[in-house]
């Protein structure tokens, strides 16, 4: 008889397990919804640029490498790196006073902006998508438009800088040949002067072959002719690079401004509710089981 009362007591207090489990599941479900409502939500805004930069230099006679629509060429990649650089983004941080707005330092604001920024290139359409993801949809659109607007002058600055650098590089490469020609011309001028011939040799000038019979003039003339040929050949080799940098680049422009996104890309409601319902189920089973056993022992 005593054993039967124990069983009845066990089942009598088992309602604690059921009620606590149900209550914990419902509570976890509602708590998950509250957590979802409080969770930060990301909004994605996109500004589209008609993106044009100078095509990579191709050596005449060699086929250009075909790039996929997703893979940027070297010039495009350089511009895209500069778009995300400190030089390009710092003015935006300053213009919108992001450090104070976000309550962080200037360096951290720069990092935060760079983290929020994404660039996607569609080479098939010559489009560059400037994407900014922020918790505030209006802020995301504002920053995306600011970055996109800054791309156009950035392309011009980069192209102008590279043009100057290439001009200096070509000049340095040509200088040894120029010096060689100047030295050889000075030698033949000196040789002619020794023979009382008042001729001032100039590049491209033809000197009468009769003078080659004079002492030292022949050797000096041979050296000068060779130096001139080398200089002309080098200048000819550089023409292709010079013409490359003379070509104009199709201007880029913002074809579509970013607008505040209407929907977020942040957390979804269901995973939050499922997660916290499972937490509640576990807690309800544990606490309910403990209380059931305690009550069974105290009140058999």
CA separation for the pair 214, 197 (Å, rounded): 10
Q: How confident is the model at residue 291 (pLDDT cuts 50, 70, 90)?
A: confident
How buried is 73 (Cβ within 10 angstroms: 0-12 exposed, 13-18 middle, 19+ buried)?
middle
> For 191-226, what is each residue's pLDDT tens digit?
888 888 788 788 777 777 777 777 778 888 888 889
The answer to whether the pTM exceeds 0.85 is no
Token readout for 91 is: 């003015």
User: So what's the pLDDT on residue 220?
Assistant: 85
Q: What is the spatial distance between Cα 46 and Cα 120, in angstroms, rounded to a whole number?
A: 10
Q: Are 130 and 144 in contact (CB under 8 A)?
A: yes
| Model confidence pLDDT, tens digit, residues 23-33 | 888 888 888 78
CA distance readout (Å), 300 to 22, 160, 178, 295, 297: 24, 91, 111, 7, 6
In angstroms, the Cα distances linking 235 to 176, 197, 203, 232 are 12, 31, 13, 5
Closest residue by Cα to residue 76 from 18, 128, 16, 113: 128
Most confident of 35-39, 250-254, 280-284: 250-254
3-state secondary structure (DSSP) of residue 125: coil
CA contacts within 13 A on the Cβ side of 42: 11
105 or 299: whose pLDDT is higher?
105
């Amino acid at each position: 008889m005593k054993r039967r009362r124990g069983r009845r007591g066990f089942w009598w207090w088992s309602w604690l397990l059921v009620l606590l489990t149900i209550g914990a599941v419902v509570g976890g479900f509602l708590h998950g919804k509250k957590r979802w409502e409080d969770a930060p939500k990301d909004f994605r805004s996109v500004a589209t640029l008609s993106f044009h930069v100078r095509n990579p230099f191709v050596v005449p006679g060699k086929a250009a490498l075909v790039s996929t629509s997703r893979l940027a060429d070297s010039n495009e990649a350089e511009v895209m790196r500069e778009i995300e650089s400190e030089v390009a983004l710092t003015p935006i941080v300053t213009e919108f006073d992001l450090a104070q707005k976000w309550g962080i330092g200037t360096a951290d604001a720069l990092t935060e902006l760079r983290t929020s920024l994404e660039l996607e290139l569609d080479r098939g359409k010559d489009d560059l998508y400037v994407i900014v993801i922020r918790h505030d949809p209006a802020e995301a659109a504002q920053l995306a438009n600011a970055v996109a607007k800054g791309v156009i002058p950035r392309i011009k600055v980069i192209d102008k800088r590279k043009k100057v650098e290439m001009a200096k590089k070509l000049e340095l490469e040509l200088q040894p040949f120029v010096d060689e020609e100047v030295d050889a011309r000075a030698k033949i001028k000196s040789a002619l002067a020794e023979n009382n011939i008042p001729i001032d040799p100039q590049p491209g000038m033809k000197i009468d072959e009769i003078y080659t019979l004079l002492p030292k003039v022949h050797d000096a003339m041979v050296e000068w002719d060779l130096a001139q040929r080398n200089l002309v050949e080098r200048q000819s080799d550089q023409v292709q690079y010079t013409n490359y940098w003379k070509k104009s680049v199709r201007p880029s422009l913002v074809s579509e401004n970013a607008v505040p996104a209407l929907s977020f890309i942040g957390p979804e409601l269901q995973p939050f509710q499922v997660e916290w319902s499972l937490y509640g189920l576990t807690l309800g089973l544990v606490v309910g089981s403990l209380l059931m056993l305690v009550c069974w022992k105290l009140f058999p």
